[in-house]
Amino acid sequence: MQRLLPPVRMPARYIESVTDDQHGLAMSGASTAAARHYDQAVDGLLHFRVEVAAETKAALADSPGFPMGNVLSAYLGLLTTEADDARKARARFTAFRRRSRTRRSSRRCRRRAPSGS
């Protein structure tokens, strides 16, 4: 298979922490333990196992800023038929997005600050 675009190489200063999942795909913001919990949660979801929620919570407890863990948590909250659970999932994911924007914004400000001041 021919690649149309070359792979993107990110400078190290832009990568907080990158861990590979069970398929070798890079996941940012996850510790090795969080990635393992995430893999087990996705596997549990695909095979209709009850430990999905517990593994997702464990991944987020270990790495609260883990984007895919937060996405999975929101997705699980939206699968429910309970309106209150869906509202809580939306609120948690909205809070995560705000925190993520704030961190990105503060990193940009630090990079733009003149050195030696």
> What is the tens place of the pLDDT at every residue in 40-99?
999 999 999 999 999 999 999 999 999 999 999 999 998 988 999 999 999 999 999 999
C-alpha 64/C-alpha 83 separation (Å) is: 24
pLDDT at 100: 87
Residue 104 banded pLDDT, cuts 50, 70, 90:
low
CA triple 67-47-30, angle to 5 deg: 20
pLDDT at position 111 over 70: no
**Ramachandran angles phi, psi of 26, nearest 5°:** -70, 135
The model's pTM = 0.70
Residue position matching structure tokens 């996850």: 30
